[in-house]
A and B are shown apart, each in its own frame.
Chain A
Amino acid sequence: MVNDRIGVYICHCGGNISDVVDVYKVVEAVKDMPEVAVAREYMFMCSDPGQKLIEDDIKNYNLNGVVVASCSPHLHELTFRGAVQRGGLNPYLFEQINIREHSAWVHKHEPEAATEKAIRLVRSGIAKVSLARELSTIRVDMEPKVLVVGAGIAGIRAALDLAKADVEVYLVEKQPFIGGRVAQGYGAYPSGRMGSEIIKELIEELKKEESKIKLFTNAEIKSLGGTIGKFHVVVQVNPRYVVGNCSNFNDAIEKCPIEVPDEFNYGLTKRKAIYYPYEGAYPELPVIDMENCNKCGECVKICGGAINLEQEAETVEFDVSTIVLATGFNPYEPKEGEFGYKQFEGVITLPVFERLMALSNGKLTYNGKEVKEIAFIYCVGSREKDGEHEYCSRYCCTATLNASLAALEKYNDLRIYHIYRDIRAYGKYERYYEEAGKKGELFLRYVPEEPPVVEKEGDKLIVKVKDQLTFGEEIELPVDMVVLSVGMEPRNEDVFQMLRVPFSRDGFLQEIHPKIRPVETAIGGVLICGTCQAPRDTVETTASASAVAAKTETYTLKGYTELEPFIAEVDAEKCTGCGDCVPECPTEAIELKEVAGGEKKAFINEVLCIGCGACGGICPEEAINLRGYRYDQLRKMIDAMVEEV
């Protein structure tokens, strides 16, 4: 079964190729190959007449394969597949060979060598197409139903955008209240509005979309099965113990005898066992923290039926077509003793400092003592060459500058030091850096080999810096508070395992391509946004959330989606049922099944398969091939490339 009437088209690319590669010579070298029916060169193959040439030749020469040698397939593979299809041929009996980026442009001083290379590459394309088989995309029905995991600013933004496009959204949040980390922030940049105010504005929007967005708080995803088009979701909604409205919740909270550290304020304050994290939190019902509640019943005496201390968890099940992960980040928690953290009173992280500002009115006080002098240390737990965090979280520079400026504005007579490695206040945030300088905040620069040292002397913290800006002068700064500018760490959620989403080296979730497919993952129907993907500030987070909503709509609103046909295929005759391929598959798409006669054979789930080909690579019998990249094709390509020109 060989395709032996192949049309070959060599593109000049208006000189981009033909100024280096002798395209006429390439045509000469391939036109008499036994598999070739017609070979031509043309000025611009991607132009309308260029595409028409292919369409007409398919009909006139009854072609059963097409090779276009031009630019990168990343530019025009889809263009030419379209032309091949319009010509009446299966679009996968086509190969685009790259003789521009991979030959003309990289060997421009060696035109003869570039031509010879182009000939070999085109021959390899002919070889591949000669063994190509007809393929068709896999069509999957889609309903406009989406699961959004995480109701921080990213999840809320994505859910709202989806709801406004008439998509039904299930928004699942682990915490009892929505808003995530942004709600905790003080004066988020740019604009300096309180994080909780920004969240409140989104909550007002959310209330208007109640018919489209089903919100589950205090809820955990218990299982997630299926594939694009039909994921089955099981959610456990944990009891809130507050089941109805009461006009006296504030009294009930007041009467509660239990006091525990308030996690919303990082333990800077205490809260009751029945509580709201902050004024205006949503949902509007308080929650009872049963781990700390002693069931004394004081709140029940006030609110009666609104409180049910025996409420049980509920399980909810539903199906969705696609999933958006917006699970966020954790702030890096410095190690004990890292710049005096947890060793000396007054050494705190930036997120805690922001809560402290939110809580300190009039004077900035910490543990009852007024804070007048603050040193911010940058890059804590970031950019570690051989450490856990090689990456830069990049939002922290601006966040720190912003926090210092907000502190100056709110409190009188502060003295602020910035002890930094590099300042990356990129884009328009440069003005925060300038402003901090103008306001008299002092900058000292350290190198990673000689980081600052924090010590305690009497009432003061002493920060010792070898300052690069004064050519290595050792400077000692007595301060009241050291704020560690910590980066973002990836979270590890159970749903990542359930969906088998790939991770990057840094541990954040991995998109298919950062520029070209920035919100999709290799797992069909699983999309990502916000800080589960990479460290980001609020602006970038909401932008990616809106992007993910729009991308999700392209999958769900049409009623169906088509998946690429490049998936693995088992040759049952060759398969010995050894099972080596089963654990090799990153998406658990392969299982061994018994066939007639009691033998076991590998079977591939077409929708789960992502087309990496790892199963083929491990199979000892060459019983598995990846469609579009079959081993016989690859071998014939090799043969064609080594043949003399």
Chain B
Amino acid sequence: MAEENFKPKILIFAAEMAYRAADMAGLTKSEYPSTTYIVRIPCASLLRPELILYAFQKGFDGVFVASSGPDCPFMGEKCVDKTAKRVEKAYELLKEHGIEGERLVLSGVCSTCVETIVGKTEELEKTLEELGPIKKS
């Protein structure tokens, strides 16, 4: 059950377009949970499943892979499949390590998709509040 005052820590891997959406969230004065940390990457296909697992092992309660979706400037539509494969693999790793799969989400975020990046982050926060803090390994 949820702990009192638990503020889940969320790591957002933001690919090129998603990073711009996060910039735009700032420009448009949107608000989202403050314990979210954005790491800029060019394309989500770079993410090794082991790196996602690493974030959980180090104490992040949730990870949001915010890819550029089909707007990926490097490979367009092909990015969707490649990134999905990385995340699928990461789900397997999480399972092996007894980490709830719901803690990891993937979504394509276009450069102006403020609602997606804010909405998905809020959704994830809600899920994590229900799941409680990650077990430290």
Contacts and interface: CB of A to CB of B under 8 A. Distances in A.
A522 B26 contact: no
Contacts, number: 148
Interface stretch (B29-37, B91-99, B123-131): B29-37
A614 B82 contact: yes
Contact of B111 (A105, A513, A610, A642): A513
B113 interface: no
A127 B72 CA distance: 27
A73 B40 CA distance: 10
B32 A106 contact: yes
The interface size bin for chain B is 35 or more
Interface string B23-64: 111110111101111111111011110110011001110000
A109 B29 CA distance: 11
Contact of B73 (A98, A505, A513): A513
Contacts of B25: 101, 106
B43 A614 contact: yes
A102 interface: yes
A504 B77 contact: yes
A124 interface: yes
B37 A639 contact: no
A219 interface: no
A634 B51 contact: yes
B52 to A, nearest CB: 10
A100 B54 CA distance: 27
A99 to B, nearest CB: 10
B70 interface: yes
A613 interface: yes
Interface string A603-629: 000000011111011110010001001
B42 A638 contact: no
Given A611-B42, A629-B41, A584 B82 contact: yes
A613 B51 contact: no
Contacts of A189: none
Given A106-B31, A638-B58, A613 B76 contact: no
A637 B11 CA distance: 11
Contact of B42 (A105, A120, A626, A635): A626
Contact of A124 (B37, B47, B50): B37
Interface of B: 9, 11, 19-20, 22-27, 29-32, 34-43, 45-48, 50-51, 54-55, 58-60, 70-78, 82, 86, 111
22 contacts: A73-B40, A74-B20, A100-B26, A101-B24, A101-B25, A102-B26, A106-B31, A502-B74, A502-B75, A504-B77, A505-B70, A522-B75, A566-B42, A584-B82, A610-B74, A612-B45, A614-B46, A614-B74, A617-B45, A617-B46, A631-B48, A637-B39
